[in-house]
Amino acid sequence: MALQEPRIERRMKAMLRVHLVVIFTLIVYCLYAGFQRGDTSLAARLSQLTSWRNSGALKVQRATLQAQCANVRAAAGPPASFNPSSRLRDSNDHWVPGTPPTLIRNAKIWTGAGNGTEIVSGDVLLDRGLVVGVGSISARVLQAVRKNSRRDGSKAELRVVDVGGKWVTPGLVDLHSHIGVYSAPELNGAQDGNSRKAPIQPWLRSIDGLNTHDDSYELAISGGVTTAQILPGSANNIGGQAFVIKLRETAERSATAKVIEPPYLPSNSSGYRPWRHMKHACGENINNVYSQVRMDAIWNFRQAYDQARKVRDAQDAFCVRVEAGDWESLKVNENAYEEFPENLQWESLVDVLRGRVKLSAVDFDGIVRLSNEFKFPVASFHHGGEAYLITDLLKKTYGGAPALALFASNFRKKREAYRGSEFAPAILAENGVPVVMKSDHPVLNSRYLIFEAQQAHYHGLSPELALSSVTSVSAKAAGLDHRVGSIAEGYDADVVIWDSHPLNLGATPVQVYIDGIEQLKDPFVLNKPEEFQKVPEVPDFSKERADTVKYSGLPPLTGWKDEKKQAGRVKVVGVKSLVAYEESTGAQDDTPSFALKTLFDDKHSSSGRTVIIEGGRIVCIEGTASSCTISVRVGETIDLQGGSIAPALTTYGSPLGLVEIRQEASTNDGSVPDPLTGSVPSIVRGTGDGVIRAVDGLSFGGRSTLLAYKDGVTTAITAPSGGGFQRGLATAFDTGAPHSAVDGAVLQEETALHIAINFQISTSVSTQVAALRSLLFAGGDEEDASAWGRVRAGKIPLVVAVQSADIIATLLSLKADYEEATGRTLKLTFSGATEAHLLASEIAEAGVSVILTSPRPYPGSWEQRRIVHGPPLSQESTVTTLVKAGVNVGIGVIDEASGRNTRFDVAWTALEANGTISKSEAIALASTNLHKALGYSPQKTPDLVLYRGGDLFGFESKVVGIVSAQRGVEEF
Ligand SMILES: *[C@@H]1O[C@H](CO)[C@@H](O)[C@H](O)[C@H]1NC(C)=O
Ligand SMILES: *[C@@H]1O[C@H](CO)[C@@H](O)[C@H](O)[C@H]1NC(C)=O
Ligand SMILES: *[C@@H]1O[C@H](CO)[C@@H](O)[C@H](O)[C@H]1NC(C)=O
């Protein structure tokens, strides 16, 4: 009851004062009157007085009880003044007076209307925190806006921004975010997203844990996200109430000021009742925290709802009596009625039962049953890895099918996400389920929420629904579609101007407005290819979608195809661009080396050229002098329809090949023992150096591995997993191979020696550096074949996973010391390296390679907080800063599920480089540069990939085959 106390106390005190004055006056009057009349029966008089006083108090109580009962009946939702078309709102309640009105001219406006189909060419006018005009705006409206601003005395002049035909959308609404409750950088003092006290805690509120200082706000806004639902974490079945906030900084700087519509709190009986929000979670997260199973979870819910139901029923029964005016029966004594039944612990669940909460939930069948047992609606289901398989069940949710909030491709980390599919959004939409794409920030960086919508679109969700999934549909699921998520008169002035059509890869805001306030100061604007101004024409994946449903989310994946061996001649037609390898032989030995070369890039030719491949090698190209002629008859023809041929990519950075389901130990190789922070069993050390080899733990045929293969990422380089200092020797393998015993599966058994030096390891950084120093200076001759011996002799690289610029500086000086002392060269590579840009020229000078495992950095920890933000916040990106300094740069991933998306990372990096990195240089980031940095020397010509419908630099192409020097052409 704590919340109500101040209010009640104040009211009681006020009432008491009034009563005292009244009683005193009456007593004086009565004494006077009695005295006048000579009435001696004072006692009788006083008793009459008491009853008058009581009846006054009862009257007040009756009014309160009637209001409380009216409150019980009231529905949640926006008041009439929020009806945008009625234009009753003359300003946004978050409007900051003095904000200049803004006219965005010459825009292509995706408004969100008509289920995302409406596109208006023209202008958008923002004033008083509202959209006040869309399309062609009359001089009269402009005049009124100018007059308004003079009347305010703010003297803010109308700003006119001509966007030259650029796309404008509503600000993005992230339905599932933990911004501000999980911190960036992550600090224990600001991890306020999860209470671990009990599985059921509907009384907790994310607003009470929201931190206003967090690096993520600026990043998310720079990606066009303006609104986010801040959910508690999922350590509880009911982790608490959620709050929907605008991400911008407010003058008040408080958490409360960020909340869009501060929801109804008990005892506010007046008027408008905004929607409330709450999260229910099921599954592995909670079950692990509380050692429970799914059966426990549903019982937890049922028990909680039973409590809430009792409170609600007591209220309803009570109110029947109040509404009937049955006051006599409600009296507890002469001066008081029974109290309105309330319970602050359960009141939020009572509101769920009354349909006044937008509920976010997971675990379908259980929650659908629960919603019908207790009769409450659900606004959205989240994560929903398997939702696309049970669309009919979703429709059985009490009150109708909720929206489904999903990731695009972040799957398989847990058993319950193993059947997750990139085709889920399209399949759900086909079945009439509203689709929301979400970040679960910081699980995915909310800044790139639009990338989730882009991937959903690439895999078959219509452009209208893909954009709606992060604007109007998410706004609706949050109960805020009357003011955000669309561009229309009367809506909040939250809009984004994009540098390209937002469904194109790398689409970046050039400006973002929240409540009409410009968010990006001096944004850096990228120059995008002209064809990126329209919706990308995505490939046809209908067969893949059908198979996904047919096989319950696990359609068979094939790697190498023995049965379709194509070592003979293959004619590939319709090729618009070709990047291939040039092979040369090293001067000292016969090790071949491979460099990338763009052989042609006929962007504007209509049909594309013909390329003949024989024995897995390109033997002739139409339009170039070559020893063969393309007219020769060949067995097989593959039409790439204006597609391209480019080198296959390499993935590095995740434990691909060593894990299948990260959270399932029985599916993984496990963690290696660390000689610095733990002990390595003597049986492992034996007489050797005890350095673990990743190749010994490899598993082939995993889903993430085969999906990488299918998407043209045919090489993986993986180091042993572990949380300590020494990881071991990495290995290079073919992602399509069936097992390690087949020829060509393992491409190079041992590549480089991998260690980590960082603040997370359970001994000091200085101790880690000391260990490295003593390992380097341990002596040994050129012939020492141990892992460290080869590092010392400069035969294999030492790859150090490191983030902090300060540790990087220490390692550079250690390298210099070592080389000076021994006269040898230490091959060194930094991996992770978020802060490497601060030492770009020193790193280049030292000849050290850098692999950015997050090419678009995120300040996830203290030692990686100094990021290069990238456009629109900075001109340079980490990659361009390092490349310009002359560093050999590679890019990688952290999650094994992202390996398959390497082509998107390559393309995105090139787009962010704004023309300063060529296509072949971009491909090198995930192939030749990476190989060099990691000590991988291919012994045969690496694979090429056939892309149909476009090249790998956008969303229009699809991988349709692999060209292998060993196996010929494999068509998918
Ligand atoms: C939008 O889609 C819904 C559901 O399919 C449909 O009921 C509604 O009529 C559509 N509205 C418009 C304006 O097309
Ligand atoms: C109570 O309702 C009024 C609207 O009638 C609103 O202005 C006020 O903020 C609400 N108070 C609380 C505590 O929600
Ligand atoms: C990109 O290049 C264009 C010129 O081609 C330039 O005007 C613009 O400022 C550049 N943007 C960034 C972020 O480098």
Q: Can you give the CATH number for the domain in which 304 is found?
A: 3.20.20.140
Same structural domain for residues 425 and 493?
A: yes
Residue located nearest, by CA, to atom 4 of ligand 3: 527
Taking every pair of Cα atoms in the chain, the longest distance, rounded to a whole number of angstroms, is 136
Classify 44 as helix, strand or coil: helix
pLDDT of residue 72: 87
Alpha-carbon span 222 to 260, nearest angstrom: 20
962 is a domain residue: no
Same structural domain for residues 491 and 572?
A: no
Strand order of the sheet with strand 225-230?
A: 172-177, 225-230, 238-246, 276-280, 357-361, 380-382, 403-406, 435-437
Nearest to 851 by CA among 868, 831, 828: 831
- In this predicted structure, the answer to whether residue 518 has a pLDDT above a threshold of 80 is yes
pLDDT of residue 170: 98
Beta bridge partners of 726: 755
| Structural domain ending residue among the three candidates 73, 93, 122 | 73
Q: Which ligand 2 atom sits closest to the C-alpha of 263?
A: 14
Residues near ligand 3 with C-beta < 6 Å? 524-527, 871, 875, 914
For residue 741, give its domain range: 649-941
Same structural domain for residues 733 and 852?
A: yes
546 is a domain residue: no
**pLDDT tens per residue across span 162-185:** 999 999 999 999 999 999 999 999
303 is a domain residue: yes
Residue 639: how many CB atoms within 10 A of its CB? 15
**pLDDT tens per residue across span 742-774:** 999 999 999 999 999 999 999 999 999 999 999
Rounded to a whole number of angstroms, the distance between the first and last alpha carbons of the chain is 64
Same structural domain for residues 773 and 874?
A: yes
Ligand 1, from 115, 118, 428, 465: best to mutate by most atoms within 8 Å of Cβ?
A: 115
Alpha-carbon span 657 to 667, nearest angstrom: 11
Alpha-carbon span 972 to 961, nearest angstrom: 5
61 is a domain residue: yes
Q: At 210, is the pLDDT very low, low, confident or very high (cuts 50, 70, 90)?
A: very high
- Helix extents (H) in 263-342: 284-289, 294-323, 327-330
Q: Which ligand is nearest to the CA of 914?
A: 3
The DSSP code sequence of 72-104 is: HHPPPB--GGG-GGGT--SS-TT--TTPPPEEE
Same structural domain for residues 456 and 583?
A: no
pLDDT of residue 86: 58
Report which of residues 736 and 632 the model is more confident about.
736
Sign of the Cα pseudo-torsion (275, 281, 286, 290, in order): positive
DSSP state of 753: E
Asked if residues 553 and 435 have their Cβ atoms less than 8 Å apart, the reply is no
Residue 112 CA to ligand 1 center (angstroms) comes to 12
Residue 154 CA to ligand 2 center (angstroms) comes to 28
* pTM of the full structure: 0.92
Residue 57 CA to ligand 2 center (angstroms) comes to 25
Report which of residues 936 and 615 the model is more confident about.
936
pLDDT of residue 821: 96
Nearest to 929 by CA among 599, 582, 650, 644: 650
961 is a domain residue: no
966 is a domain residue: no
Same structural domain for residues 463 and 375?
A: yes
Same structural domain for residues 643 and 653?
A: no
| Structural domain ending residue among the three candidates 533, 548, 583 | 533
Ligand 1 pocket, 637 CB below 6 A? no
Q: Which ligand 3 atom sits closest to the C-alpha of 871?
A: 13
Residue 949 CA to ligand 3 center (angstroms) comes to 28
CA 186 to chain centre: 16
Same structural domain for residues 801 and 789?
A: yes
User: Count of residues for the chain?
Assistant: 972
Residue 181 CA to ligand 2 center (angstroms) comes to 25
Q: Into how many domains does the chain fold?
A: 4
Give the pair of three-digit tokens for residue 695: 């190749």
Same structural domain for residues 487 and 580?
A: no
Residue located nearest, by CA, to atom 10 of ligand 3: 526
Q: Which ligand is nearest to the CA of 114?
A: 1
- In this predicted structure, the answer to whether residue 625 has a pLDDT above a threshold of 80 is no
Residue 844: how many CB atoms within 10 A of its CB? 17
| Structural domain ending residue among the three candidates 612, 627, 647 | 647
pLDDT of residue 501: 98
- In this predicted structure, the answer to whether residue 45 has a pLDDT above a threshold of 90 is no
933 is a domain residue: yes
Residue 875 CA to ligand 3 center (angstroms) comes to 8
Same structural domain for residues 626 and 774?
A: no
Beta bridge partners of 241: 205, 278
Which CB contacts under 8 angstroms, 24+ apart, belong to 631-636?
A: 632/569, 634/568, 634/569, 634/570, 634/571, 635/568, 635/569, 635/570, 636/566, 636/568, 636/569, 636/570, 636/571, 636/969
pLDDT of residue 29: 52
Report which of residues 288 and 113 the model is more confident about.
113
Burial label, 252 (beta-carbon count in 10 A; 0-12, 13-18, 19+): exposed
Same structural domain for residues 522 and 654?
A: no
pLDDT of residue 1: 33
108 is a domain residue: no
- In this predicted structure, the answer to whether residue 263 has a pLDDT above a threshold of 90 is no
Q: Can you point out the beta strands (E) in 379-501?
A: 380-382, 403-406, 435-437, 495-498
pLDDT of residue 11: 54
pLDDT of residue 25: 52
Same structural domain for residues 634 and 688?
A: no
